[in-house]
């Protein structure tokens, strides 16, 4: 099985498109797959013969995969169409830092939705995958997808597709603008069958934020008051059972923002974002990422991370760990969250992802800017990144009193910083950004 490719090139575009070869040690997974068809969706599903696979005591061999690269001045994206059409790599070019987790081997895990469990072989390869038509990782993460690339003067788009007549199928457009350090993702599922079917449709990013393995100091930024637990480890803490709500970020004495305080693994849904983003930050590498999505645009927002002592590392060969940020059309993974999709109808949405290199943390973000406010006593440092080059004005107010007003020019390659002091540290701080015409770009207030 090989993906089909169509590439249209324009010499005037600010995004360069190229192909590369990525060699990855790979276990002989495909020798032990048996194809079935799910009659509900009319989709080929590959079941894993784990008994014969383990009896053969397999070892990985180097395999060459074709990578499709989109890059501009600020960002380099690499896709692996042969492995589920995944977005494998996203590198911030000014610093050379990678946001995604990369498993050093392509290896069948024990995770997935197939029954019996021995039939599962989900690949914890890393990068961003497209999960459908069932909950969790779906069916189509480890098979070749087709792709085509189009370019214009303003950017380039890769269309990744897993479709066929009279079945449920998906296309995903990933667009890299010529002048931006952020990229957009536009997934679209279509029911090509003749019956109404229950579907789940998600994207899932496995992340480590410029580290071979997830840092114990990772911070999770999820702007909600409550989360809904999907799964959790039993020992070590009092997080509620699956399906129950927990306050965020404080659960008892545990600050769930701080991964080093997690006693066990946890997956949760955050269906009611109060801000246009969710994200994570690695203090060890000063690397962060935000998923930019307007509140209410789609209900599906999920985060999962292994606990630090999580014993099952069988998905890899080097004990590395990662965390996952999900976005989707469904509120959760349970059957009551399925969407009944009539024949010929579609599910689709659009969101953006932005690697944040050197910001120092994440306090607030939207499609125009990201900021971090760091406080030490009565001294504050405001850091700012922009996704596109811009000329703007920043105003910082303590209560109603301006304490900083400055026009600036910024580009995505380097954060800007301002220092200021405040004698009354209980006073709310407001940060406002405006463009040259006075149009608001960002308006954030602490404790307002």
* Residue 217 forms part of a structural domain: yes
The enclosing domain of 406 has a CATH number of: 2.60.40.10
Which stretches of the chain score pLDDT less than 70?
A: 1-13
Q: How many CA atoms lie within 13 A of 195 on its CB side?
A: 7
Domain boundary among 326, 357, 388: 357
Q: Provide the domain count of the chain.
A: 2
Do residue 217 and residue 149 come from a single domain? yes
The enclosing domain of 198 has a CATH number of: 2.70.98.10
Domain, as residue range, for 147: 5-357
Do residue 280 and residue 386 come from a single domain? no
* Residue 77 forms part of a structural domain: yes
Predicted pLDDT of residue 183: 98
Could you report how far apart the first and last alpha carbons of the chain are, in Å? 56
Cα distance between residue 157 and residue 173, in whole Å: 6
Cα distance between residue 272 and residue 299, in whole Å: 7
Do residue 148 and residue 236 come from a single domain? yes
- The enclosing H or E element of 50 equals helix 50-55
Do residue 272 and residue 392 come from a single domain? no
Cα distance between residue 42 and residue 7, in whole Å: 29
Do residue 13 and residue 91 come from a single domain? yes
pTM recorded for the entire structure? 0.95
> Which residues, 6 or more positions from 20, have their beta carbon under 8 angstroms from its beta carbon?
66, 67, 69, 78
Residue 311 per-residue DSSP state:
-
Q: For 207-232, give one letter per residue: b (16+ CB within 10 A) or e.
A: bbbbbeebbeebbbbbbbeebbbbeb
Domain boundary among 357, 385, 402: 357
Predicted pLDDT of residue 10: 36
List beta partners, residue 23. 64
């Amino acid at each position: 099985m090989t993906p089909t490719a169509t590439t249209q090139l324009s010499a005037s575009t600010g995004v360069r498109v190229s192909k590369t070869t990525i060699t990855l040690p790979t276990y002989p997974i495909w020798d032990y797959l048996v194809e079935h068809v799910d009659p509900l969706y009319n989709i080929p599903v590959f079941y894993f013969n784990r008994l014969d696979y383990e009896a053969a005591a397999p070892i990985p061999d180097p395999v060459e995969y074709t990578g499709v690269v989109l890059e501009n001045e600020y960002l380099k994206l690499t896709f692996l169409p042969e492995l589920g059409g995944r977005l494998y790599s996203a590198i911030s070019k000014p610093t050379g830092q990678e946001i995604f987790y990369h498993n050093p081997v392509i290896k069948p895990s024990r995770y997935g939705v197939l029954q019996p469990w021995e039939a599962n072989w989900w690949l914890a390869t890393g990068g961003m995958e497209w999960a459908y038509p069932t909950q969790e990782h779906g069916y189509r993460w480890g098979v070749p997808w087709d792709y085509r690339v189009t370019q214009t003067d303003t950017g380039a788009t890769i269309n990744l597709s897993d479709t066929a007549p009279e079945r449920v199928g998906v296309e995903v457009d990933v667009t890299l603008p010529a002048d931006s350090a952020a990229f957009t993702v536009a997934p679209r599922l279509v029911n090509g069958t003749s019956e109404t079917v229950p579907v789940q449709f998600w994207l899932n990013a496995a992340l480590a934020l410029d580290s071979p393995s997830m840092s114990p100091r990772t911070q999770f930024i999820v702007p909600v008051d409550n989360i809904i637990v999907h799964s959790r480890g039993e020992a070590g803490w009092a997080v509620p059972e699956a399906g129950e709500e927990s306050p965020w970020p404080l659960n008892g004495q545990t600050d769930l923002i701080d991964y080093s305080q997690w006693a066990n693994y946890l997956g949760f849904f955050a269906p009611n974002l109060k801000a246009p983003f969710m994200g994570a930050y690695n203090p060890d590498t000063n690397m962060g990422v935000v998923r930019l999505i307007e509140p209410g645009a789609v209900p599906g927002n999920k985060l999962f991370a292994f606990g630090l002592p999580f014993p099952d590392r069988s998905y890899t060969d080097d004990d590395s760990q990662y965390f996952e940020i999900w976005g989707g059309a469904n509120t959760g993974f349970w059957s009551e969250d399925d969407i009944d999709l009539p024949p010929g109808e579609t599910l689709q949405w659009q969101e953006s992802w932005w690697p944040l290199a050197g910001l120092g943390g994440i306090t607030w973000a939207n499609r125009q800017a990201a900021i971090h406010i760091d406080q030490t006593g009565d001294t504050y440092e405001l850091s700012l990144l922009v996704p596109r080059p811009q000329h703007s004005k920043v105003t910082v107010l303590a209560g109603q009193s301006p304490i900083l007003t400055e026009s600036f020019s910024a580009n995505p390659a380097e954060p800007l910083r301002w220092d200021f002091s405040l004698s009354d540290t209980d006073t709310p701080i407001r940060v406002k950004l405006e463009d040259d015409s006075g149009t608001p770009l960002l308006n954030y207030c602490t404790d307002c």
